[in-house]
Amino acid sequence: MSKKFNNENTELIINYTFEGAEWEAALEKTRKKLANEVTVPGFRKGKAPLFEALKHVNPMKIFDKTISDNIEKIYQDHIISQIDEKDILADNFRPKFDVTDLSLDKAVFEFVFPLFPTIKLGDYKHLKTKLETLELTNEEIESQKRNTLENYVVMLDSNEPIKLNDSVNFDFTGFVDGQKFEGGEAENFDLVIGSNQFIPGFEEQMIGLKKDETKDLNLKFPENYHAKNLAGKDVVFKVKINSIKSPNYPEVNDQFLKEIKINPLVNDLESFNEHIKNNALKEKISANSQKYINDAIDEVIEASEVKMSNLIIDETANSYYQGFINQIKKQGISEKDYIEFAKTSKDEILNLYKDEAKKNLTKSYVYGKIVDEEKLHATQEEYDERINSLAQLYGLEANQIKSFLKFEVFEQEKLAEKIFDKLAEINDKESLVKYQEAKKLTAEYENKIQSAIIAQVKEMSKEKEDSSQTKEKKEESKE
């Protein structure tokens, strides 16, 4: 038995030698079991002498089965006991197991455990990253209006040039090095311009075309394109426009707004515009806050040193890969068919996922290190306070709120909120104050909506109760 640390790879290595009478007895048990499973000419199954039966058993199979039959017991009886509290293992990652020496005399088992990464945190108190302005643009306001009215849009045939948000039916054929490629052509394909369904530049170059027009779109596949045989290559798509439909939005006036009932506060143009601005501001706060966290963490990563075991990266990459395979299977594409179509291999795809895994893991560990340094963990008291606040707002019991807002979900939201506040407070306090004021405004508006909804529900319940009582009285008077 030996135990050592590989600090360079941040791994704990424990070796155990399975030998002597115990190893010999395990081998003998396996020999007898396998001998009973083979058919020997001239003998009934399981009745041949042991030495005759073993002539029909691959010796390596004896070793393999002995190992597989005993590995869990070895792990439980001899390996776990070697790990103590000061050995900080990476959470939720399995050890790698190998046999480093194998003979009739012994088997040497090696268990490699990934340790929690070592993190030398870079300076996060003098960041160049700053918060972006919350001033709303006309486009953001108009986009919010379109999103709000989306369910009331009618798509009408158009003879005008293609513009953003139009739905276009078209034929296309792609050519790489002058040759068509699999999956690169279709007829009567429907596409909403601006949905970013195609590679960058495709939809932008369609803008301005009219019905029945054709055009060659000269583009380039992204370097990280999923089909390795196409990644980074120049491509020409020949497109023909079959039809164009443009969104026709309803006329927004007081009468229309009263009919669609967006929420209890919206009943005229003035309140509608307030609703739109509030939603647009709320979305911008969320998007800008997330962008600030991502950019700030990326800046900290540049100045940090993170050492982690390849076992962590490999297991995470395998998880990504399996998720991808499960996704394409739902679309009716097998793993084998995809690999053949993309002219790639499992190893090439895994290597791409390893890069992604390392990047994501590094960000997660640096994020967590800042949380530890600044003591930003969400607390049970904060959770209870949130639950009680929501219960009071909606007029429900605390346990009812807990059933749909679990602590784990709250914890992630609270962590993001705290790390944003802390990094912005340290590095861009003036902007943080503006964000906090804006958050307060949007929260007040949301609370007004909820209060109005609750008031409506109570009023409806009262009317129903009054109606029921009136009906009962009428029936009593008849009697």
Question: Domains of the chain: which residue ranges?
Answer: 2-116, 154-248, 270-454
Mean pLDDT on 17-31: 95
pLDDT greater than 70 at residue 426? yes
**Residue-level pLDDT at 117:** 96
Domains 2-116 and 154-248 share a fold: no
Look at the domain 270-454 and name its fold: Trigger factor, domain 2 (1.10.3120)
* Cβ-contact 74, 18 below 8 angstroms: yes
Q: Does domain 154-248 have CATH number 3.40.50.2300?
A: no
Choose among 192, 193, 194, 189: nearest CA to 238.
Answer: 189
**Residue-level pLDDT at 274:** 96
pLDDT greater than 60 at residue 455? yes
Question: Which amino acid would we find at residue 458?
Answer: K
**Residue-level pLDDT at 163:** 96
Mean pLDDT of the chain: 92
Strands 154-157 and 234-248: antiparallel
pLDDT greater than 70 at residue 470? no
Burial of 217 (0-12, 13-18, 19+ CB in 10 A): buried
What is the rounded CA–CA span in Å between residue 214 and residue 61?
A: 65
pLDDT greater than 80 at residue 468? no
* Cβ-contact 411, 285 below 8 angstroms: no
Residue with tokens 């966290």: 293
Could you please report the per-residue DSSP string of 343-367?
A: T--HHHHHHHHHHHHHHHHHHHHHH
Mean pLDDT on 379-397: 90
| Torsional sign, CA 146, 151, 154, 160 | positive
What is the rounded CA–CA span in Å between residue 67 and residue 465?
A: 73
Q: Which helix (H) or strand (E) holds 248?
A: strand 234-248
What is the rounded CA–CA span in Å between residue 58 and residue 27?
A: 13
Entry field: residues in the chain: 479
Tokens of 1: 């038995």
Q: What is the CATH number of domain 2-116?
A: 3.30.70.1050
What is the rounded CA–CA span in Å between residue 75 and residue 86?
A: 19
Report residue 207 CA to chain centroid gap: 32
Choose among 361, 386, 363: nearest CA to 294.
Answer: 363
pLDDT bucket at 478, cuts 50 / 70 / 90: low
pLDDT greater than 90 at residue 421? yes
The phi, psi pair for 307, rounded to 5°, reads -110, 125
How confident is the model over 193-230, as pLDDT tens digits?
A: 999 999 999 999 999 999 999 999 999 999 888 787 88
pLDDT bucket at 473, cuts 50 / 70 / 90: low
Burial of 323 (0-12, 13-18, 19+ CB in 10 A): exposed
Residue with tokens 């009943």: 267
Tokens of 138: 């006309």
How confident is the model over 76-106, as pLDDT tens digits?
A: 999 999 998 888 899 889 899 999 999 999 9
pLDDT greater than 60 at residue 479? no
Question: Which amino acid would we find at residue 67?
Answer: I
How confident is the model over 135-156, as pLDDT tens digits?
A: 999 999 999 999 999 999 999 9
| Torsional sign, CA 301, 303, 306, 310 | positive
How confident is the model over 151-160, as pLDDT tens digits?
A: 999 999 999 9
**Residue-level pLDDT at 43:** 83
